[in-house]
Structure 1
Amino acid sequence: MTLEHLSQQSGSIARRYSYDDGEVIVADFGTADVSVDVLEDVAIVVAEHDGEQTQTEVELPAGEAQAFINNGVLTIEVRR
C-alpha cells in the first residue's frame, strides 16, 4: 500500500523521506488512537477515531525497521 492510500484511508497526512542509509515514513494521525506492529517487510497500522477503526498495511523497504508514536505522529525508520 502506498502512503497516498494510507492518507486517504485514515485521513492522515503521510510522507516518505529517502536517505543514503535508509528511509523514514511519517504519518500524522492527529487525535486518533494509533498502534503499529512492524513485521519484516510490512507495518500494520491500526487507527481508531470517533469509534471508527481502520487497519492499513504499509510495505517497507528491506532493512531494519523500528516504529514509534508521539502525540499522534507515527514514525517508522528503516535502516539499510
Structure 2
Amino acid sequence: MTLEQFTREDGQVARQYEYDDETVVAVDFGAARTDASVDLVDDTVIVVVDDDQYEFELPVDADDAHTFMQNGVLTVEMEGHR
C-alpha cells in the first residue's frame, strides 16, 4: 500500500506511523464526507467515499489488520508490518 494512492488526485492528507509492534496509516478524506465506508476483504481494503471507490492490497507481511472510518478519517492498523 502506498500513501500516494490517496494524496495524488484529490489532495487528501495521509500519514503513516511506525510503532514497535504495528504500523498505522491514516487518510483524512474530510469530515464533510458523510457517505464514507471501509471494508476489509481478505487482504484488500475497500474504501467508498461518495461516488468514488478506492481499493488497495495490504502488505504481505501485515498480520491482523483492522480498519475503521470515523469523521472522514480512514485508519488502517497492521500488526507485524515494518
If the length of structure 2 is used for normalisation, what is the TM-score? 0.76
Superposed displacement of residue 10, structure 1 = 4.3
Aligned AA for 2:76?
Answer: I
The structure in which a higher percent of residues are helix is: 1
- Structure 2 CA distance for partners of 1:12 and 1:36, relative to 1, 3 Å: same
Segments of structure 2 that go 5 or more residues without pairing to the other structure are: none
CA contact (8 A) 1:17 1:24 kept: yes
- What's the CA shift for 1:46? 1.0
Cα–Cα, structure 1 residues 17 and 58, in superposed 2: closer, same or farther, change >3 Å? farther
Counterpart amino acid of residue 28 in structure 1: D
- Check 1:58–1:16 CA distance in 2 against 1; reply closer, same or farther (3 A cut): farther
**Alignment coverage as a number of residue pairs:** 76
Structure 1 portions without partners, runs of 5+? none
Q: Which residue of 2 aligns with 1:6?
A: 6
2:57 corresponds to:
59
Say what the alpha-carbon RMSD is for the aligned residues: 1.7
Counterparts of 2:39 and 2:65, CA distance in 1:
10
8 Å contact from structure 1 (residues 3, 58) kept in 2: no
